[in-house]
Chains A and B, each alone.
Chain A
Amino acid sequence: MAFEPKEEQTELKYDELRIYSEEELNNYTEEDLKNFKCKHDIPDLDELETGPWPSFVSDAKREALHRRKLADDRMLIERDVVEDMLGQLQLSFDDGETHWKHGGIVGVFGYGGGVIGRYSDLQDKFPSIAHFHTMRVNQPASKFYNTNYLRSLCDLWEYRGSGMMNLHGSTGDIIFLGTFTEQLEPIFYELGHVLQQDLGGSGSNLRTPSCCIGKARCEWSCIDTQDLCYELTHYYQDELHRPAFPYKFKFKFDGCPNCCVASIARADMSYIGTWRDDIRIDQEAVQAYVGGEIEPDGGAHKGKDWGKFDLEKEVINLCPTKCMWMEGSKLMIDNKECTRCMHCINVMPKALRPGVDTGVSILLGAKAPILEGAQMSTLTIPFMKCEPPYDNIKEIIEKIWEWWPEEGKNRERLGELIQRQGITKLLEVLGIPPMPQMVKEPRSNPYIFWKEDDVPGGWDRDINDYRSRHKR
């Protein structure tokens, strides 16, 4: 199936959009690069140019040299922004402390997020990074790009900012690293008007949602992760740009229980694709694995000789629910006992595939340790159909967003509120009954907070009536 964009999007053509000429883009030689010396003494950073892993210092020097050779009027912030960043980084190593000031409230009109203010605490020494604000640019789902788009971003950011970026930040945005306050609005206008591209989230709001590669290039994805991510990001733009929450709120979409975007560890609301029918089995392919004709685990263990593939040992005995067995040469699965851990499917991708009646499990409340300790998301909705326009999912989201902003304390994540008020409260909010799947095990203490309604006869009792049976 093909998806259609929600709004008409102009195709971006770099040649029509570009700022820099070919000559400007190729304004230094390899020889120049070898001879390049940063204006600050940076011995520790020079050291980080050795070794096989890509050196971010070598990359930064390239950008620094390129900026040195551009004409004065071909960039709108200081040309040696990269060199000053490197200089301050070296000094941070020397001092064992960061040299970025705390905070800085800057942004674009009407948005409460998307821009992180940052100022150097050594502005006399490193004037070109006196302001070093970050902008978060909302990435396209799954981070596929074409070069027309990326080259246009590069020109825009080199002209109006430092040329330094993160691809990508932890939450998923493209991060523009370092510009001056004056350029924030102009960059926002260029992004919106020319590139039809918005900023991402920061602060106490919906953070930029992100998803795994999904059906675009993975045989295991049970849901259209990109479409769901795109739809919810667009539908909740107000929540993304205008903070009204107690703290951050994250959506992440994993197509299957392998959890490649780590939704279960990182998202307040984790969506994990799953299925409720049977694992599809190609018995011939199972035999091909047994016969050693196909590499197990998609070839993931090729680097070491683990011996001949042993179906019994590597699949059947490792199945956490022991719901698989062989009948003759036929692999059998008791699907109602399966918890869909993906191991057998991962080991034999040509023989086993997830079912076709697919949907999403919704888990709630993951977060990093600040403050009450790290939490992973709790299984809350076992299975939900996941089809556009995803109204059933939006209803769940909105019930949570009626409760958490109302009851949550300042800087309290959803997972902490669930702990504080209890899963029982969450069930009431969502209007769902309890199920054993929500817990690892039932409680081991009997300190149940019974409600008056739960107990026959109510709580109002007459002491005289009691005393009529029991003397003091």
Chain B
Amino acid sequence: MALSTERLGLYNPDKPMENRLTDLGPRHFWQYFPPVIQNNYGKWKYHEILEPGILVHVSETGDKVFTIRCGGCRFMTAEHVREICDIADKHCDGFLRFTTRNNIEFMVDSLDKMEALKKDLESRKHVTGSYKFPIGGTGAGVTNIVHTQGYIHCHTPATDASSMVKAVLDDLFDYFQGMTLPAHVRVSMACCLNMCGAVHCSDVALLGYHRKPPIIDNEVLDSLCEIPLVIAACPTAAISPTKTEGGKKSVKIKNERCMFCGNCYTMCMAVPLSDKEGDCVTIMAGGKVSNRISPPKFSKVVIPALPNNFPRFPEVCESVKKIIEAYAADANKYERVGDWAERIGWEKFFEKCDIPFTEHLIDDYRLQYDTYRTSSLFKFTEAAWEVSRAAGGID
């Protein structure tokens, strides 16, 4: 059956339940495995990264599969996907896959085919010069940045995603195409605290954040929102019921209690938060999800706010680079950003990365005490001398 070209296709609005197919689920994966994958399923013995972005997996049967990993934008058009299909048809018998981090992987079963594929991929550029299929993203380097929708589709963002990711990856491009770092570096981006990208366990996390309390649209709040739900949505109990001068039911906000999470806005469209000057980018560092050597870790806030400087976010790019360069220069082989920071001490992290430590970085939410340092074990840095000076302990 061909795809329909009728305006409403197979759907009959007069009988909406007629011929309705539901609960089909996803299509089965097996049909999308190329023969070399089907034949060696569960039999893989080892792998090797031949060069950045190019892997070979060797099976117990002696078969090999060569994979070329290319960076991809999460945002992709039908035109781009068709070009990906052209490549897969030409080199890979019509098969391909995507990784969890929005990379595209083309697989072939011989070294010759791999070389031809590589040449083809490297030659493809957009008319303005950017690579369509940059090869890289393997091993001890920076792989693709996973991100959220931003201004392209979302109603709650505190910044844009695709533009920031493009700017940061342009800057980190050599790390994407090289494997020069002490370990994997996973950079992730989410445009608000809802974190549909779940960036909270990344080596470097970029997070859009609001900094002004909601504006209350008193005119419509009561008619559009359930006031008890709006009140209950606030984790710090900053929202309470009120009446406007005109007698309309609404809510009021204790500004000093607001932590700008936006949960109220998720529940109620009449309390928007976004603001050109208020919205900012928070940088977090030192998280990971792998259990390798040390347990998974949360990322920690290391820069509280950088401006939303569209379209290239120079302050964000510079800060990310500073962190990665300090890490590259100082960490041991196999050490993730968070492992490095823990070994040298966070005080040294701030010193080596040349990032100021401000009061915003000290937790004052729940369980804050867990982050206090309750020992006499510390290193002397300029920040420590400043405290000693301020306290009259030294001249």
Contacts and interface: CB of A to CB of B under 8 A. Distances in A.
Given A53-B134, A194-B3, A189 B129 contact: no
B219 to A, nearest CB: 15
Interface stretch (A209-217, A324-332, A400-408): A209-217
Interface in B341-368: 365-367
A444 to B, nearest CB: 12
A349 B102 contact: no
Q: How big is the A interface, by class? A: 35 or more
A299 B49 contact: yes
B16 A192 contact: no
Contacts of B11: 185-186, 188-189
Contacts of A172: 100
Nearest to A151: B85
Interface string A142-179: 11111111111111111110011111111110000110
Contact of B100 (A55, A141, A210): A210
Contacts, number: 490
Given A262-B198, A373-B365, A52 B170 contact: yes
B195 A53 contact: no
Contacts of A396: none
Contacts of A277: none
Given A16-B2, A50-B129, A197-B24, A298 B49 contact: yes
A48 B163 contact: yes
Given A144-B97, A166-B75, A170-B196, A341 B16 contact: no
A155 to B, nearest CB: 6
A394 B178 CA distance: 43
Q: How big is the B interface, by class? A: 35 or more
Nearest to B93: A146
Contacts of B178: 303
B131 A53 contact: yes
A410 B132 CA distance: 44
B211 interface: no
Contact of A185 (B13, B42, B277, B365): B13
Interface stretch (B244-252, B305-313, B318-326, B375-383): B305-313
B28 interface: yes
A304 B21 CA distance: 55
Contacts of A165: 75-78, 81
Nearest to A200: B26
A171 B2 CA distance: 30
B94 A146 contact: yes
Contacts of B265: 102
A167 B3 contact: no
Contacts of B294: 320
A131 B153 CA distance: 11
A302 B179 contact: yes
A259 B154 contact: no
A341 B195 CA distance: 27
Nearest to B83: A62
Contact of B42 (A1, A98, A298, A299): A1
Nearest to A257: B291
A338 interface: no
Contacts of A410: 229, 232
Interface in A336-366: 339-343, 346-347, 349-350, 353
Contacts of B365: 373
Contacts of B9: 160, 186-187, 189-190
Contact of B130 (A25, A52, A66, A341): A52
B372 to A, nearest CB: 15
A371 B194 CA distance: 9
Contacts of A53: 71, 130-131, 134, 166, 169-170, 173, 176
Interface stretch (A88-96, A428-436, A460-468): A88-96
A230 B29 contact: yes
Given A198-B23, A368-B198, A56 B292 contact: no
A154 B80 CA distance: 10
B1 A194 contact: yes
Interface in B17-32: 17, 19-32
Contacts of A233: 25-26
Contacts of B235: 371-372
B155 interface: yes
Contact of B4 (A33, A177, A190): A190
A109 B17 contact: yes
A131 to B, nearest CB: 12
A299 B139 contact: yes
A449 B110 CA distance: 64
B247 to A, nearest CB: 25
Given A218-B44, A318-B293, A47 B31 contact: no
A241 B166 CA distance: 34
A166 B293 contact: no
Instruction: Name, among B29, B89, B138, B169, the residue most crowded by chain A CB atoms within 10 Å (CB to CB).
Output: B29
Contact of B88 (A48, A147, A339): A147
28 contacts: A45-B163, A52-B129, A53-B134, A54-B133, A55-B166, A56-B73, A59-B126, A60-B75, A62-B77, A92-B160, A93-B310, A109-B17, A143-B99, A147-B94, A147-B96, A151-B82, A159-B3, A190-B9, A241-B23, A261-B100, A300-B139, A302-B139, A346-B292, A347-B334, A349-B46, A370-B263, A373-B367, A410-B232
Given A58-B127, A145-B95, 15 more contacts: A1-B41, A54-B130, A56-B75, A56-B166, A58-B130, A97-B275, A144-B32, A192-B24, A193-B21, A226-B29, A257-B291, A298-B49, A342-B290, A349-B46, A411-B233
